[in-house]
Structure 1
Amino acid sequence: MAPERPLPPMLERMWGRERAPRRGPRPRLDLATITAAAIEIADAEGLAGVSMGGVASRVGVAATALYRYVGSKEDLLTSMADAVALDPPEPGGMPWRDYAALWTRAQRDLVLAHPWVLEVTKYAPPLGPRRLLWLDRLLAALAGTGLDDGEKINVASTLTGYALTDAALAHAAGMGFEEHAGAGLEGAADYGELLAEVLDPERYPALSAAVHGGVFRGAEGWADDADFRFGLDLMLDGVEQLIARRTSKGRFGG
């Protein structure tokens, strides 16, 4: 039997597997307390405001003492991204499509409530107990669809990516695009007016025609719920078609 792969110290702490020291004074802090303090700072000041020194000051220890519990700022960010997640909605017998829509929207809303998460989770797969609980629940909702485990994981990754992308766009819209290339964009209509100025109809014939046709005119904004649902339905329609193909293949042995 192959030996168990040792977990990195931060994951041991996140999963409650760190061995308690047999000797010495009892630790004054724990990872949950430190992480909660860091989340408070990030919510108030953004991720740029989170420093090991600032977190240490908030929990009442010297910065050097914090490294006894958290090996680095990167480790702290990993813990924050996991701890900020609420419990996922429970499938509770819901049709897979209804649950997937609820699950994706809940992820988007979570990120909008804590936009600094976008800077931490762009490319990182879930490692902590709370984020993996979200993955588990969607896999459970997809049970009986005929998809194999790899396909279910890919569905989860696709929906998560959509939730993060839509949240990023909505957050940027809420900030007024103040730093977006200095363009001062406040919404989709402003974006359309800017494109109308810069697009060459000969090089961008389809896009130019859409812009001049008013595709962005009168839009409510970048975070319109109907737009979010439109994109989500497109993806769920694709999953539905994949399930239908798997079902048909199993039925006829193709």
Structure 2
Amino acid sequence: MTSHQLHYIYDPLCGWCYGAAPLVAAARQVLPVRLHGGGLMAGAQRQVVSARLREYVMPHDRRIAQLTGQPFGDAYFDGLLHDGGAVLDSEPPITAVLAAEQLAGRGADLLARVQAAHYQQGRRIAEPAVLRALAADIGLDEAAFSQAFDALSGEATRAHIADSRQQLAQAGGGGFPTMLLEADGRLERVDVSAWLGRPEALAAWLMSRVPAPTTPVAQAPHDRFGCGPQACTI
């Protein structure tokens, strides 16, 4: 009997990962998806919202919306991206995803909720109070979530980010999002760009791969996209 799962190396503040959210949802209907938070804007890379940051991210976001159909809300474009008091820090939402997974296997559900809160509702997803509210939105017990969040904050989350980045480097991934299909311990990198905007097609492809031993297939050249470990590519 073969064992299959999809490893998803992501960041909650990576716009291309938000663009790939429908792919993750589709993949979860086929096989288990294991999340690996990459820390794009963690530690020294955390930033306060500024005019310079806004001018940098908006072209990315508009292209992501065009290619994937993912909605970006006015509360994000006209609100959060003009909020000079907002801090963009990947570490707290990664901690929240880890806590949701530990509590109830709901990490992917919370990630989707966090992404919608950021890119559609313009909420400050680096703030623990906001993350607690989002966890409650998906039905997690607030007290239990808070306890798990506190326990996983700091060193535990930073160790997870370091492991994710090591896996990304070993897989030869250029950044986030990166998907790796695992079959019996063997990994095959999935060309995410080939499936953007086509979640049903990805699900069908995965179903065709799961019953048989996984072997690498040649990938056609494609336009470079995504968020690298330190920045995004338009």
Compute the TM-score of the two structures, normalised by the length of structure 1. 0.23
By percentage of residues, which structure has more helix?
A: 1
By percentage of residues, which structure has more strand?
A: 2
> Rg: which structure is higher?
1
Compute the TM-score of the two structures, normalised by the length of structure 2. 0.24
